[in-house]
Chains A and B, each alone.
Chain A
Amino acid sequence: MIHSLFLINASGDIFLEKHWKSVVSRSVCDYFFEAQERASEAENVPPVIPTPHHYLLSVYRHKIFFVAVIQTEVPPLFVIEFLHRVVDTFQDYFGVCSEVMIKDNVVVVYEVLEEMLDNGFPLATESNILKELIKPPTILRTVVNTITGSTNVGDQLPTGQLSVVPWRRTGVKYTNNEAYFDVIEEIDAIIDKSGSTITAEIQGVIDACVKLTGMPDLTLSFMNPRLLDDVSFHPCVRFKRWESERILSFIPPDGNFRLLSYHVSAQNLVAIPVYVKHNISFRDGSSLGRFEITVGPKQTMGKTIEGVMVASQMPKGVLNMSLTPSQGTHIFDPVTKLLSWDVGKINPQKLPSLKGTMSLQAGASKPDENPTINLQFKIQQLAISGSSATDECHCRWP
C-alpha cells in the first residue's frame, strides 16, 4: 500500500520523509516537481501522478504537499483519504498544521506517522488511540519535558486498541462532565448576474466536544430529522438505530470530533440571506470603467450578518482600481488582479457599498470576461435548513 510519505513546502523543499517499507529515494519527487511546474497553480497539480516505477498521490493542505508514494494498485481515494486524515491528526495534535509546527515537533510527527501505518496499511487512525500512544505536546508538558527529559511517548500501554469501542480511550475522568454540540451549516449557492439562484446546497456538520467520564452512552434526537436525508456518520453512531428511529445513539470519543455531516440538496430551494447589487461596466475605447457593489441582508430572521468578505477576480485588462468603501477595508492586488473587501457586519440601516473607478489598459478593447464575485458571511444562531435544532440530548452511563 503506502510506501513512503514526503512533505513538501511551497518552495519545493522536502522537509520530512517517512518510509514504511524499504526506503524510496527522494529523487522520486522530481516527477512531482515537474507536474507542479506544469500546473502553474498548486490546486491544479494532479492528485495522481504516474511515474515509471511508482505512483505519486498527493494532497495539498495548509500550503504543504503531502505526497504518498505507492507501487501497486490501490484505490486512490484510500490513500487520499488517509493523507487527509494525517493532516487532521496533525491539526488535532498541534492546533495548526504548518511547516513550522511540523518542524518543531518532528519527533512526535514521526512517531505518529509510525503508528498510523504498518507496512503501509492503516493501523491506528483514531485520534483517541493515537493520543494514548503518543501524547500531544502541550505547553506544560513541553516545560516538564525539558526539565525531566522525557518525551511524549505514552508510558502505559494503550488499551484502546483492544477495546470494543476503539475510538474511545479508556479511563476517562472529568470533574465537570460536559458535552457541547456545534451545528454548523454552510450554504453554497451560485447566483447569476440578475440575482436569481441557479443552485444552492446546504452542507451541515455537527461538531461535538464531549468531556464525559467513563463510557457514556448518548442519544440525540432532532426536531425535524426528515430533512437530513443524506447523512454520513462518525463510526461511533449506531446506524441501525438511526435507520429505525431517527435517533443518534452513540458512545462518543473523548474530546473533539465530527459527529455527523449532512447534505440538504438543491431541490428544496433555500432563501439566500444576503444579496449583492452590482454595477460593473467597461466602455469601449475609454480607459476607465465604473465599479460599484452594495451588499444587503435578505430574510435573516432578525439575525445580524457578520464576517462578510467579498472577493472578485478582475479581468486582466484592469490595471488599477480606485475605490472607496462605506465601511471595512479593501485591497486590490494589481498582479493577481484580485480585489478583496473585508466588510465586517452588515448594518441594515446603512448598507455597505464599494464604489469607484477602474483604470484599464490604454487602447485595449473592453474585456470579454465577467468578473465573478465571491461572497462569504456568517450568521450565528441560524440554521438555514431549519432542521437541526436538537430538542433533547440524553446521556447515560452503562
Chain B
Amino acid sequence: MAAGQAYSEEKGGSSSLGEPEYGHDPASGGIFSSDYKRHDDLKEMLDSNKDSLKLEAMKRIVAMIARGKNASDLFPAVVKNVACKNIEVKKLVYVYLVRYAEEQQDLALLSISTFQRGLKDPNQLIRASALRVLSSIRVPIIVPIMMLAIKEAASDMSPYVRKTAAHAIPKLYSLDSDQKDQLIEVIEKLLADKTTLVAGSVVMAFEEVCPERIDLIHKNYRKLCNLLIDVEEWGQVVIINMLTRYARTQFLSPNQNESLLEDSAEKAFYGSDEEDTKDDKAEATSLVKRKPYVMDPDHRLLLRNTKPLLQSRNAAVVMAVAQLYFHLAPKAEVGVIAKALVRLLRSHSEVQYVVLQNVATMSIKRRGMFEPYLKSFYIRSTDPTQIKILKLEVLTNLANETNISTILREFQTYIRSMDKDFVAATIQAIGRCATNIGKVRDTCLNGLVQLLSNRDELVVAESVVVIKKLLQMQPAQHSEIIKHMAKLTDNIQVPMARASILWLIGEYCEHVPKIAPDVLRKMAKSFTNEEDIVKLQVINLAAKLYLTNSKQSKLLTQYVLNLAKYDQNYDIRDRARFIRQLIVPTEKSGALNKYAKKLFLAQKPAPILESSFKDRDHFQLGSLSHLLNAKAVGYQELPDWPDEAPDPSVPEWTKCTSREKRKEKVEKPFYSDSEGESGPTESADSEPESVSEESETSSSEGSSSSGSEEEEEGSGDQSEDKEEEEKRKKKKEKEAPRKASLESAGSPSEEEEEEGVKKGKKKKQQQERKGCGETSSEEASASESSSSESDSGSEAQESPAEVETKRRKAPASTKPSPRATTAGPKEISLLDLDDFTPPPPQPVPSSNIVSSSLVTDLEGLTLTDTSLAPALLSPVFGSVRTYELLHRMTGEGLSVEYCFSRRPFPHDPHMVAVQIQISNNTDAEVKSLRISEPKPLSGMRIQEFPEIESLAPGDTASVVMGIDFCDSTQAANFQLCTHTRHFYVSIQPPVGELMAPVFMSENEFKKEQEHLSRLGEGKLTGMSEITEKLTLPEKCRSDHAIVQQVTSAANVGRVPCGADNEYRFAAKTVTSGSLVLITLEKREGAAAQLTVNSEKMVIGTMLVKDIVQALVQ
C-alpha cells in the first residue's frame, strides 16, 4: 500500500478526491514518511504567528503545486490563513484555494465569508479580486452567492469590477448551467456597457453562454463596432469573430451580383487599394451606378472599423480581421488582407503554420489576392518541413499560366533538397500544376520522367505515382514513358510505385504489346513475395492481358490466378475468384463473359488532383475547426448569407415581444391593484401606464449603470449630442426600423435623446395636422427628455384625443419605447410601481399623482432628502440620553456623565464618539484629568481625550473620546485619573449607538434587504432577519412619534418610503460597516411588525428589543 501511495505521490497532479490522505496513515514508511514529515513542518509554519514563516511555507507549497505535486492535505492549514493581513501570504493562499477548493469543498466554505467581505470593500481592486477568487473556486454550493455577487458587480461603479463580473459569468455557467437565464440577463446588461474595458470580456461571456442569442447584439452592434479599436487585443479577437457571424445573418452578400464581373472586380481592387473609403455616401452612390446592390451602412461600418486592426502587432487580431474580410467584404476589397497576412509569415513558425493553412484555403477561392506576394511563399532551407509543405500548397494554388515557369524553376531547386518528405510533396505539387495548366503538362511530365532515374527510391516512387496520374490524361502519346517505366519494375521496391506501374501497363497494354506479357511473366515469378496492393494489380494486369492477348498470356494468367486462389489475404482470393468467373468462359457465366472486355478496359476518367484545402472555407477561417478540417467542440457554424435582406422588422419585432413581456411584469401589480375599482376605459388605462414607463426608463437610464453621479454626466452629453441628432433626424426617419434601433443603441444617453427628439417631432407633426396650437413647453420638454419630471408631466398633459390618434398609429408611435424598455428589469425596479399607491385610472388626476409620487422617488434617487436629512444629521441634544460614568459620591465630588453625540468621530471613522461632561463639584482644582490604562477587550480600541490640565471648582468641561466597540455591546473599561485619584469606570453602549445612519434610496434599501435575506437562506451568515410583532401604544401612533422613537433608540437614518404605513431606516455598524435595515410596518389598528435585517445577528436581536421597548413605552 505504501508503495502505491508513493507512486501516486510521484504522479502528482492526477490525484483525485478518493485518494487517502497521508496524514491519516500512521503505518506509512520509506520515502513516504519523510514526505509526511515535510508536510508536517509546513503545517507548523503555517500555524505560526510570523508572517515570514507563513510566507516561506506558502512559497514552498505553491512550488509544489507548480511542479504538479499533490499538496491537498495541507488544505485545512492553508485555508486558515485566508484572512491573513499580509498581502503576499494572502495572494499565495488565493492561488492555493483556487487550485484545491474543488477537491475540498466543505473546508473551502470557510473562506467564503472573507470574500464576501471583500466584495463590499470600498477599493475597487479588492472588490474585483474578491469576486475573481470567489468565482474561481468551483464549489457548487455557493452558486447562489456567486450569482448574487455577479449581479451586484455587474452594476458596480468601477468598470474594472464590471469586467471581473463578465469574467465570472462563464465560470458560473460551467459550474451550473441552470443559471443560464439569469446569466443572460446579466450579459444583456453588460453588453450595454459603454467602456472598452468591459466589452471584450462580456462578448467572451456571450460566446460561451449564449452564442445563439444573436438578438442581444442588435442594439449594441454599432457601439461594439465603434469601441473595437480601443478594446484590448484579446477582446478584439473575440468581438471580431462574433461580429462576423452576426453580420452573416443580418446583411446581404456583397458578392451576389459579381460572379460575372470577377475579372474586372479584381482589377478594380488594385486601383482602389489606396482609395479612401471614408466617404460612405459617395461610395454607396457609385455602387448604385454599377450594380443594384447597395451595401448596408452598418455592414460598411464594420468593415471600415476593423480595417485598421490589420496593423495590430497581435497575429490573432490580424487573422481575425482577415477572416472577417474574407467572409464579409466585397470581392474587390478582400485584397487588403493579403499584405497583412504575408507580414505574419515573418513571425514564429507556429504562427506561420496557422496563417499558411488559412492562406491555402483563401488562395483557392481568391487566387488573385496573393499573386503579387508569390515570392513571399518561396521556401527557405531553414523552414520546418510542415511549413515547407504548406508553402508548396500555396504556391501550387497560385500557379497560373503566367507564373508557372518561375514556379517550376523554383520547384526544380526544391527537388534537390535533402528533406525527402519535402521532395515527395514537391513532386506531388508538380503533378498538380501539370493537371491544372495544360500548357506545361509535357514539360512537367518530362521533368518527372527524368526524376525516374534519381538515386533516391522515394523520389522515384513518388514520381511514378504522379506520372501514372498524368498519363491517364493522354496515354496515346506516351508509350515511350510507359516502356521506360516497365523497365523500372526490376529496381523499384516501393509497393505503391510498383502497383502504379503495373496498373499503367495493364491499362495501356495495347500501346506496349510486346513488353506487357514479359512484365507479367516476371511478376508471376515474384508474386508470392509482393505486397497485397501489388498482388491485386498483378491480377488486374493478368486479366487485362488475357482479354487482349490471350494467346501469349493464357497460361500465365491461369498460373497467377491459381497462386492468388491460395493467398493468405481474402481480398486477393476474392478478386481471383471473381476474375476467373468473369474472363474465363464457362457454361454458366455466359452473359457477363461477353462484356468482360468492356468492363475491364472501359475508358476511365483521369483522377482530379486537387488541393486538400478545397472547400475548407465552409468553416469560419482562423478557427480551430478550419485548421483541423473537422468540427471542434463548441464550434459555431458560420451562417450562410440570407437570400433576401433580413426583414428589417424582425429584430424590431423580437424586441417588441420581449418588451411586451416585461411590460406585463410591470403591469401585473397595476392591474391586480386596480381590480374592483371602477373599470377603466381601454384608452385611458394604457396611456398613464406607458407614460410612467417611459419616464421611468428615461430617468433610470443614467443612473442604472453607474450610480447617480453619472446621471448628471449623461444629461450633459445629451445636450451636446442634441444638435447632431437633430441633423441626422431626417435621414433616420427614412431608415428601416432595424437600423433606427441600431443607431439609437449607441449609448443610453444618445438613445434617450433621440427618443425625445423623435417624440417631439411626431408630436409636432400631429399638432400641425390638427392645427391645435400647443404650448411651446411641450416642445421644450420633448427635447429635454432627460428630465423625467418635466417629460412625464408634459406627456400626461396630452389630451385624450391625442392619445387616441397615437393609438391608432400604434406601430409608428410605439417604436421608440421598446428600446427604452429594454434597459433590463433592474432599472425598472428602481421605480417600482407597486411601492406607492397606484395612480387612479382616470387620466386627468393621474398626472398629478404620477408626478407627485415621482417627486418622492426622485428624492430617494438624488440622495437629497431635504425634509428628513437635517433633522437626522444634527444630533438632537435635548433628546439624547445621558448616562452616568462617575457619580458625585464615588468620584469624591467629581461627577462625570457621558452621552453619545452621534457625530462621526473625527480621528477614526470606526470609533463611536462619546461626549464626556466632567463637572468639578469639589472646592479644589482638579488637575491633569486624563484617561489611563485602558483595558479594552480584544479588538476594542480607545482614543483618549486630550488631558485636561485643570478644572476649576464648579466648572464643567466637555470632551470627546472615541471608542471602537468592535460592534459589540461589551463595556469599555478604563481608568479616569486626576492628579490624586484613579477611578475605574466603564462605558457600555446601547446597541443603537453602535451604528451610524446611512442614506439610501428606497430601491437600494430593497436591494440590500433582498441581498441580506438571501444570505440568510444560504445559511452562511445565519439568520439575518429578525421579526417581532408589537402593539403600538396610543401616544405612539403618529408618524412623527414613531420616527422620533426609533431614531432616539438607535442612530439610524430614515429611508424614504412610498407606502404610508411603512417606515424604513438604515444604518451601518460603525466598526465593520455592515448594514442594518429596519422596517416598521403598521398593520390594522395598533398592531405593527418590526423587521431588522442585519448580518450581525446579535446586533439585530438586541436592536429589535431596544426599538420595541422605545415604541411601547
User: Which residues from chain A sit less than 8 Å from chain B, CB to CB?
Assistant: 1, 14-19, 21-23, 25-27, 41, 43-44, 46-48, 50, 55, 58-61, 70-78, 80-84, 106-107, 109-111, 114, 118-119, 121-123, 125, 148-151, 153, 155, 157-159, 161-162, 166, 188, 190, 192, 198-199, 201, 203, 229-235, 239, 243, 258, 260-261, 263, 265-266, 313, 315-316, 365, 368-370, 372, 374
Whole-angstrom distance between the alpha carbons of A58 and B375 in the complex?
Answer: 28
A153 engages B376 (CB within 8 Å): no
Whole-angstrom distance between the alpha carbons of A46 and B63 in the complex?
Answer: 30
A372 engages B125 (CB within 8 Å): no
Partner pick for A374 among B170, B171, B381, CB 8 A cutoff: B381
Whole-angstrom distance between the alpha carbons of A353 and B1047 in the complex?
Answer: 99
- Chain A residue numbers with a CB within 8 Å of B135 are 119
- Chain B residue numbers with a CB within 8 Å of A123 are 167
Partner pick for A84 among B91, B318, B348, B413, CB 8 A cutoff: B348
A110 engages B66 (CB within 8 Å): yes
Q: List 19 A-B contacts (CB under 8 A).
A: A1-B204, A26-B14, A44-B384, A47-B353, A48-B353, A74-B624, A75-B320, A77-B351, A81-B351, A106-B67, A111-B95, A119-B136, A122-B234, A153-B87, A161-B160, A230-B343, A265-B339, A265-B373, A313-B418
Whole-angstrom distance between the alpha carbons of A162 and B164 in the complex?
Answer: 12
A25 engages B14 (CB within 8 Å): yes
User: How distant is B715 from chain A, measured CB to nearest CB, in Å?
Assistant: 23
Say yes or no: A43-B384 contact (C-beta < 8 A), given A76-B624, A76-B627, A315-B418: yes
In the complex, residue of chain A having the shortest beta-carbon distance to the beta carbon of B68: A17
In the complex, residue of chain A having the shortest beta-carbon distance to the beta carbon of B622: A75
B376 engages A265 (CB within 8 Å): yes
Q: A119-B167, A150-B88 are in contact. List 15 more A-B contacts (CB 8 A).
A: A22-B102, A76-B354, A77-B319, A82-B316, A111-B62, A111-B95, A122-B232, A148-B52, A150-B52, A230-B340, A233-B313, A234-B313, A263-B342, A265-B339, A265-B373
Q: Does B1034 contact A (CB under 8 A)?
A: no
- Of B261-269, B496-504, B630-638, B702-710, which stretch is located at the interface? B630-638
- Chain B residue numbers with a CB within 8 Å of A73 are 623-625, 632-636
Q: Contact mask B614-630 → A, CB, 8 Å, 1/0?
A: 00000000111101101
Q: Does B124 contact A (CB under 8 A)?
A: yes
A47 engages B632 (CB within 8 Å): no
- Chain A residue numbers with a CB within 8 Å of B52 are 148-150
B55 engages A150 (CB within 8 Å): yes
Partner pick for B417 among A1, A50, A369, CB 8 A cutoff: A369
A232 engages B343 (CB within 8 Å): yes
B138 engages A22 (CB within 8 Å): yes
Q: Contact mask B383-414 → A, CB, 8 Å, 1/0?
A: 01110000000000000000000000010010
Q: Which residues of chain B from 114 to 173 have a CB within 8 Å of any chain A CB?
A: 123-126, 132, 135-136, 138, 158-160, 164, 167-168, 170-171
Q: Which residues of chain B from 47 to 94 have a CB within 8 Å of any chain A CB?
A: 51-53, 55-56, 59, 62-63, 65-68, 87-88, 91-92
- Chain A residue numbers with a CB within 8 Å of B316 are 75, 77-78, 80-82
Q: Does B588 contact A (CB under 8 A)?
A: no
Whole-angstrom distance between the alpha carbons of A280 and B496 in the complex?
Answer: 36
In the complex, residue of chain B having the shortest beta-carbon distance to the beta carbon of A266: B375
Say yes or no: A261-B313 contact (C-beta < 8 A), given A121-B201, A151-B55: yes
B68 engages A14 (CB within 8 Å): yes
Whole-angstrom distance between the alpha carbons of A243 and B201 in the complex?
Answer: 29
Say yes or no: A263-B66 contact (C-beta < 8 A), given A50-B628, A75-B622: no
Say yes or no: A41-B378 contact (C-beta < 8 A), given A48-B627, A233-B312: no
B381 engages A313 (CB within 8 Å): yes
B632 engages A235 (CB within 8 Å): no
B378 engages A199 (CB within 8 Å): yes
- Chain B residue numbers with a CB within 8 Å of A121 are 167, 170, 201, 204, 234
Choose among A16, A60, A151 the residue with the greatest number of B CB atoms under 10 Å from its CB: A151
Q: Does B255 contact A (CB under 8 A)?
A: no
Say yes or no: A107-B454 contact (C-beta < 8 A), given A73-B633, A374-B381: no
- Going nearest first, the 7 A-B pairs with the smallest beta carbon separation are A149-B52, A72-B634, A43-B384, A199-B375, A372-B381, A47-B350, A122-B234
Q: Does B456 contact A (CB under 8 A)?
A: yes
User: How distant is A162 from chain B, measured CB to nearest CB, in Å?
Assistant: 5
A263 engages B346 (CB within 8 Å): yes
Whole-angstrom distance between the alpha carbons of A260 and B348 in the complex?
Answer: 17
B382 engages A81 (CB within 8 Å): no
A41 engages B350 (CB within 8 Å): no
Q: Does B896 contact A (CB under 8 A)?
A: no
A368 engages B416 (CB within 8 Å): yes
Whole-angstrom distance between the alpha carbons of A26 and B627 in the complex?
Answer: 24
How many contacts between A and B, using CB within 8 angstroms? 249
Whole-angstrom distance between the alpha carbons of A243 and B156 in the complex?
Answer: 37
- Chain A residue numbers with a CB within 8 Å of B632 are 50, 55, 72-73
Size category of the binding interface on chain B: 35 or more
- Chain B residue numbers with a CB within 8 Å of A110 are 62-63, 65-66, 95
- Chain A residue numbers with a CB within 8 Å of B126 are 157
B201 engages A77 (CB within 8 Å): no
User: Which residues from chain B sit less than 8 Å from chain A, CB to CB?
Assistant: 12-14, 51-53, 55-56, 59, 62-63, 65-68, 87-88, 91-92, 95, 98-99, 102, 123-126, 132, 135-136, 138, 158-160, 164, 167-168, 170-171, 174, 201, 204, 229, 232-234, 237, 241, 308, 311-316, 318-320, 339-340, 342-343, 346, 348-351, 353-355, 373, 375-376, 378, 380-382, 384-386, 410, 413, 416-418, 454-456, 622-625, 627-628, 630, 632-636
- By DSSP majority rule, is chain B's interface helix, strand, loop, or mixed? helix
- Chain A residue numbers with a CB within 8 Å of B164 are 118
In the complex, residue of chain A having the shortest beta-carbon distance to the beta carbon of B167: A118
Say yes or no: A374-B382 contact (C-beta < 8 A), given A23-B13, A73-B632: yes
Partner pick for A162 among B124, B229, B315, B624, CB 8 A cutoff: B124
Whole-angstrom distance between the alpha carbons of A201 and B342 in the complex?
Answer: 11
Whole-angstrom distance between the alpha carbons of A260 and B312 in the complex?
Answer: 10
A190 engages B319 (CB within 8 Å): no
Whole-angstrom distance between the alpha carbons of A165 and B44 in the complex?
Answer: 45
Say yes or no: A125-B313 contact (C-beta < 8 A), given A118-B132, A151-B55, A266-B376: no
In the complex, residue of chain A having the shortest beta-carbon distance to the beta carbon of B123: A157
B308 engages A243 (CB within 8 Å): yes
Whole-angstrom distance between the alpha carbons of A311 and B1113 in the complex?
Answer: 101
User: How distant is A199 from chain B, measured CB to nearest CB, in Å?
Assistant: 4
Whole-angstrom distance between the alpha carbons of A231 and B63 in the complex?
Answer: 42
- Chain B residue numbers with a CB within 8 Å of A118 are 132, 136, 164, 167
Whole-angstrom distance between the alpha carbons of A326 and B204 in the complex?
Answer: 61
- Chain B residue numbers with a CB within 8 Å of A372 are 381
- Chain A residue numbers with a CB within 8 Å of B123 are 157
B384 engages A75 (CB within 8 Å): no
User: How distant is A9 from chain B, measured CB to nearest CB, in Å?
Assistant: 13
In the complex, residue of chain B having the shortest beta-carbon distance to the beta carbon of A58: B350
In the complex, residue of chain B having the shortest beta-carbon distance to the beta carbon of A258: B313
Whole-angstrom distance between the alpha carbons of A144 and B623 in the complex?
Answer: 48
- Chain B residue numbers with a CB within 8 Å of A368 are 416, 454-456
Whole-angstrom distance between the alpha carbons of A368 and B378 in the complex?
Answer: 21
- Chain A residue numbers with a CB within 8 Å of B237 are 75, 78
Whole-angstrom distance between the alpha carbons of A59 and B91 in the complex?
Answer: 29
B622 engages A77 (CB within 8 Å): yes
Whole-angstrom distance between the alpha carbons of A388 and B136 in the complex?
Answer: 48
A75 engages B628 (CB within 8 Å): no
In the complex, residue of chain B having the shortest beta-carbon distance to the beta carbon of A149: B52
- Chain B residue numbers with a CB within 8 Å of A106 are 62-63, 66-67
B380 engages A15 (CB within 8 Å): no
Say yes or no: A18-B234 contact (C-beta < 8 A), given A190-B378, A199-B376, A230-B340: no
Say yes or no: A77-B315 contact (C-beta < 8 A), given A16-B67, A48-B624, A374-B382: yes
- Chain B residue numbers with a CB within 8 Å of A17 are 13, 66-68
User: How distant is B948 from chain A, measured CB to nearest CB, in Å?
Assistant: 41
In the complex, residue of chain A having the shortest beta-carbon distance to the beta carbon of B417: A369
In the complex, residue of chain B having the shortest beta-carbon distance to the beta carbon of A121: B204
A107 engages B14 (CB within 8 Å): no
A19 engages B167 (CB within 8 Å): no
